[in-house]
Amino acid sequence: MKIALKPRQGYFKSVYNQVSVLLKKNAITTLRGANSPLLRIGASFGFILIIFLVDIALQADMADSELFQNVFDPEVRSLNAIPDCSEDLYLKNSDKKPCYNLLYAPQSNPYVKEVVESVIVSSGSRPGRFLGMETAAEMDAWLDANKERAQATVFLDVEMVGGKPTGIDYDLQTNSSVRYFKNEFQSPNFFSQVPVQVAIERESTKMLARYKYGSSSSQADISWSVGVNSFAHPPMVIESRIPEFAAPFLYAVGMFNFVATLTALVTERQTGQRQGMRNVGMLESSFWISWYLWEVVTNFMSSTFIVLFGMMFQFRIFLKNNYGLTFFLFFLFQMAMSGFAFIFFAFMRKPQSAVSIGFFVYFLGYIMTSVILSGWPYDGKYEEGLNYVFYMILSIFPWNLLAKGLQDFGDATATKESPGIRWNERSSYCVTDKFSDVTFTPGVYTKPNCSMPLDEIYSWLAVEMFILLLIAIYLDHIVPNEHNNYKPFYYFLDPHYWFPKKYNGEEHFGQIVSDKQASDASPGAGERNEDVRREEDVLADKLRRIVSGQETTETEDERTAMAVFGIKKTYASPFSPCGTKFEAVKGVWLSVGEGQIFCLLGPNGAGKTTLINCLTGTLKPTCGDSLMFGYSVKYELDKIRTFLGVCPQFDTLWETLTGREHLEIFATLKGMSKAEAKLEAEQKLEMVQLSKDADKPVSQYSGGMRRRVSVAISLIHDPSVIFLDEPTTGLDPVTRRHMWTVIQEAAKGRVIVLTTHSMEEADILGNRIAILSKGELHCIGSSVRLKSNFGSGYKLLVQLSKERIMREPTHAEDVISKLNALVGYQPIDQSNDTLTYSLSHFDADAARGILEKVEKAKAELGLQGLQLNLSSLEEVFLNVARGQTGAVVVGGSTGVLEAEG
C-alpha cells in the first residue's frame, strides 16, 4: 500500500517558483559574498581606466615624432655624404664582419673605377668600405651569401663612342629594410639610396664631361649639391590606438564573470549544496534555468557598465558606434563565455581550480585574438581553400569574435571624422570587395576586404550561448558526478528517459529475491546474528509476496513503513592497483515501522553515511532497493523526494545566507508558496530554538547552530521519512536534550532514521537500534534486547555497612558465602564496601527474583543498600565493535560468572 502523496504543483509552476528562489539565493550570495558585484563593476571600470591610461601614454610617445608636430619651416637636409655603414643604423651586421657602403661592378672597367674613386673622395668615406666586382650576378651572389652587410650596389654600364665614354646607364640597388630606431622609422630612401644616387650621378657627369671636353681640370666647373626637405605641415592628428590594444583588456573583464560563475557552481557541488537541493526535490531544469538567467542578469550589468564607462572616458568606439551594437557584442560574448563556464563545470570538482582554468582560457584566447587582429581569417578571401576551415573553427571561440567586432568598431571610428557604425548598417558596412572596387559613400563607414560583419558575430554568439548550455547539460548528465552517478552517453535516445518505465514490483524485486537465496545458501550465512537473520527473513518474505503479486496487510505496511532490501554499495577505488573494489555496505536488510525512530550505530567508517546516502537516492546502490511507504527509491525517487527530509552528516549551508533564508529557500524548493514558506521557516526556527539568531548569516553561527539549521531543514514541509546523520554532533548537553524532544515529537506518524555516536542518545531515542560494523548489521532490536544479548546482562550492586566491616574483619567474607548459598553467585568485583554481581543472560524476571531474595535477607545480612543495573548500550557497542557477539565482558575487566542453576 502506497501512501497518498501531497498534492504537487504543476511542472511549470514548480519550475517558476524554484527558479525565482534560486535566483534570489544567487543574488544574496553574490551581494554579500566575497565575489561582490562591486568587484565586477570595479573590474569594468578598472580595465577601461587602464585602456585610457595606456592610450594617453602611447599618444605622448608619438607626440615626440616630428610627424605629430607643427612644422612651419622644415630644415633642409644635406645629402652629400653617403652614410658610413659602421653607424649600424641600416644594417644589422650582428656578426661584426666588415660591412660595405657600396658594392660596384664592373671593377675592371677603368671609367667605372674612376667614378667610384671620385665618389669615395667626395663623400669622405674610407676606401675599404667600397667593394668592387665584375658582374651583376656576382654582386647578387655576394648579397645572398652576406645578408645585411652592404647598403647599396651599383652596376655601371659605360657607353663608348670612338674610344671615349659618352654616357652611363646604371642600376642602383639599396637595402630596403626599414629599421625602427630611437622612436623613428629610418627610411632607406632618405638615408642611403638618395645619397648614393646623387654621388654616382655627380661623379659620372664630371667624368663624362672631362672626357667630352678633354679637360682634366673641369671638375671644378661643375658644382652639384642636393638638399631635400618636406613641405611645411600642420601636426598630424594623434589618433587613438585603442582598437589595437583594447581587446585583451575588455576580454579580461569578461573573464571575471567566467571565473566567478565557475567558482560558484563548483562550490555548490563540492559542499553538497546541489545534492541537498536535489534531495528536497529541486528539478534539474530549475537548476539550469536559474543559473542561465543569473548569467543573463550579471552579464547584462557588466556589459552595460563597460559601455557606460567607455563613454564616460570619451572613447570614440563607444561614442560613435551605435550603443546597442557595442552593448550586444559584450553581452553576447559574456553569455557565450558563461556557456563555456558551464561546460568546464561538468569536469571540475574543486572550486580552487576555477582561477587556474580562467588563466588558461585567457591565455589561449590572448594568443588566438592576436592572430585575429592581424586580419586573418576574417578577410575578403575567407571562402578560399583552407581559409574557410579556419574561419569556422576560430569562430567557435567567443574571444575571436569579440576581437573581430572590436576591430571593426575601432576601424569605423579611426579618425575624428570617421562616422562609426549605425544600427542598420551592422551588416552592410562589411564588404568582401577589394578597396579599389568599393564606392565609398561619405558619412557611411564601409570596410573593404571584410567578412564576418557584426550581424554575423551576434548570430554566432547567440547560437553558441544556447548550444554550449545544451552541451553543458548533456555533459553534466554523462560525466560521473561527485557521487559517481552518471547516465550512459546515449541516455537521451532511451525512450524510458522521457517516459519513465512504470515500476513493476514483480520484475524489479525478483533479482533481489534470487540474490538473497544465493547468499543464504553460501557458507557463513548461518553465523549471522539471530535477530538480524530473522529481520532478513521477514523482509525477504515480504518481497516474495510482492513478487507474486499478493496484497500486504495494513499492519504489516505500518510495521515496515520503510523496508530496506539487501542494499549493497561498492566503491571502486581509483587509487588501488587493478581497480580493487571496496564494499562499504554489504547487503543490509532492515525495516522501520511508522512512528519509530531507528538508530543506526557503528564505528567510524562502518558505512552508516553510505547506507543513508543509498536510501536518500544520493548514491546509487550497487544492489538492492528500498521501499518507503510503498515507493521504490530506485524507480520512484522523485515521488519519494516529496516526503523526504535529510540532515546530512556535514552541514551544506551557504555562509552568506541567514538561517531564515535557508529555511525559506528549502521550503520553496519543496513546493510551498511564498507565504507558507515564511511561516514554515518561522515555526522550524522556533522548534530548534534559533529564532533569536535567525537573521544572522550562517558564517556567524557556531557549529551547533549550523547543525540545528540542518536539522530544521530536514523537518521542513512535514516529511514522512526523515534521515538524520549525526544530528546532535557538536550540540551542548542542554540543546542536545532539547533536540531529542524535537526528534521524538517529529517521530509521530513518521519514520526517522538516525545515526549517532552517543549511546545515551540511541538509548533514549531509539525504538529500535542496529549496530553496523564493516558494512554489515551485527545486531538489531530494542535497546533492552541488545543489552540482554550483547551486554553482560544485569549487575547487582550490594552495599555493606562500613561500620560492620570495621568491627568484624570477616564480615565481607561472611556475606559473600551466605549470598552464594542463597542465590548461587560469587561477586565479580569487591571494592571496599561494595560487592558487584553480574547476572548475565538472565531475563528481567529472573533478575528481579534474585533481587527479591536478597532484599528479604537484607536486614539479616546487615546490608546497607541494593541496586540492580542493566548493562549500558556502550558496553554492547564495544562488544559488537570488537566482534564479540554473545560473549560478555564486564567493564573490560576480570572474569564472568555463569549462572549455576
Interface residues with ligand ATP (CB under 6 A)?
Answer: 571, 582, 584, 602, 604-610, 649
Residue whose CB is less far from ligand ATP, 607 or 791: 607
Residue 127: asked if its preceding bond is cis (omega within 30°), the reply is no
Helix (H) or strand (E) holding 590: strand 581-592
Q: What is the C-alpha to C-alpha distance for residues 544 and 505, in angstroms, rounded to an integer?
A: 10
Residue 618 binds Mg ion, judged by CB under 5 A: no
Residue whose CB is less far from Mg ion, 120 or 724: 724
Residue whose CB is less far from ligand ATP, 40 or 569: 569
Residue whose CB is less far from ligand ATP, 600 or 743: 600
User: Alpha carbon 320 to chain centroid distance?
Assistant: 38
Strand-pairing partners, residue 625, are: 565
The nearest distance, CB 738 to ligand ATP, in angstroms, is 23
> Residues 342, 468: contact at Cβ < 8 Å?
yes
Q: How far is CA 32 from CA 25, 38, 655, 697, in A?
A: 11, 10, 10, 9
436 binds, among Mg ion, ligand ATP, none (CB under 5 to 8 A by kind): none
The nearest distance, CB 649 to Mg ion, in angstroms, is 5
The nearest distance, CB 608 to ligand ATP, in angstroms, is 4
Q: How far is CA 823 from CA 60, 641, 791, 792, 851, in A?
A: 110, 57, 21, 18, 9
Q: What is the C-alpha to C-alpha distance for residues 75 and 414, in angstroms, rounded to an integer?
A: 31
Among 609, 656, 788, 840, binds Mg ion (CB under 5 A): 609
151 binds, among ligand ATP, Mg ion, none (CB under 5 to 8 A by kind): none
The nearest distance, CB 619 to Mg ion, in angstroms, is 12
CA angle in degrees (0–180, nearest 5) for 879-885-890: 40
Task: Give residues 450-479 in contact with Mg ion (rule: CB under 5 A).
Answer: none
H helices present in 522-593, as ranges = 530-547, 554-559
Residue whose CB is less far from ligand ATP, 10 or 579: 579
The nearest distance, CB 543 to ligand ATP, in angstroms, is 25
Residue 729 binds Mg ion, judged by CB under 5 A: no
Instruction: Residue 261: name the closest of 160, 350, 342 by CA.
Output: 342
571 binds, among Mg ion, ligand ATP, none (CB under 5 to 8 A by kind): ligand ATP
The nearest distance, CB 576 to ligand ATP, in angstroms, is 10
Q: What is the C-alpha to C-alpha distance for residues 736 and 455, in angstroms, rounded to an integer?
A: 65
The nearest distance, CB 609 to Mg ion, in angstroms, is 3
The nearest distance, CB 606 to ligand ATP, in angstroms, is 4
Nine cell digits for residue 432: 568582401
202 binds, among ligand ATP, Mg ion, none (CB under 5 to 8 A by kind): none
Name the residue number minimizing CB distance to Mg ion. 609
The nearest distance, CB 26 to ligand ATP, in angstroms, is 28
606 binds, among Mg ion, ligand ATP, none (CB under 5 to 8 A by kind): ligand ATP
> Residues 771, 877: contact at Cβ < 8 Å?
yes
Pairing of the two strands 768-773 and 184-186:
unpaired
Binding segment for Mg ion among 240-248, 427-435, 601-609, 762-770 (CB under 5 A)? 601-609
691 binds, among ligand ATP, Mg ion, none (CB under 5 to 8 A by kind): none
Helix (H) or strand (E) holding 844: helix 844-856
Residue 649 binds Mg ion, judged by CB under 5 A: yes
Residue at 110: amino acid letter: P
Binding segment for Mg ion among 153-161, 469-477, 604-612, 731-739 (CB under 5 A)? 604-612
Handedness of CA 145, 150, 152, 157 (dihedral sign): negative
The nearest distance, CB 522 to ligand ATP, in angstroms, is 23
Q: How far is CA 710 from CA 612, 649, 756, in A?
A: 16, 9, 15
DSSP letters for 663-695? HHHHHHHTT--HHHHHHHHHHHHHHTT-GGGTT
Residue whose CB is less far from ligand ATP, 464 or 651: 651
Residue whose CB is less far from ligand ATP, 298 or 652: 652
> Residues 98, 128: contact at Cβ < 8 Å?
yes
The nearest distance, CB 824 to Mg ion, in angstroms, is 45
Tell me the three-class secondary structure of 747-815, residue by residue. CCCCEEEEECCCHHHHHHHCCEEEEEECCEEEEEECHHHHHHHHCCCEEEEEEECHHHHHHCCCHHHHH
Residue whose CB is less far from ligand ATP, 366 or 571: 571
Residue whose CB is less far from Mg ion, 400 or 609: 609
Residue whose CB is less far from Mg ion, 289 or 601: 601
Residue whose CB is less far from ligand ATP, 93 or 481: 481
Tell me the three-class secondary structure of 693-760, residue by residue. HCCCEHHHCCHHHHHHHHHHHHCCCCCCEEEEECCCCCCCHHHHHHHHHHHHHHCCCCEEEEECCCHH
Cα torsion through 25, 28, 33, 38, rounded to 10: 130
The nearest distance, CB 602 to Mg ion, in angstroms, is 9
Q: What is the C-alpha to C-alpha distance for residues 485 and 864, in angstroms, rounded to an integer?
A: 65
Residue whose CB is less far from Mg ion, 341 or 584: 584
Binding segment for Mg ion among 319-327, 437-445, 644-652, 831-839 (CB under 5 A)? 644-652
The nearest distance, CB 384 to ligand ATP, in angstroms, is 54
607 binds, among Mg ion, ligand ATP, none (CB under 5 to 8 A by kind): ligand ATP
Residue whose CB is less far from ligand ATP, 290 or 755: 755
890 binds, among ligand ATP, Mg ion, none (CB under 5 to 8 A by kind): none
Lay out the site mask for Mg ion across 314-353 (x = CB under 5 A, - = otherwise): ----------------------------------------
User: Alpha carbon 785 to chain centroid distance?
Assistant: 50
Residues of this chain that interact with Mg ion (CB under 5 A) are 608-609, 649
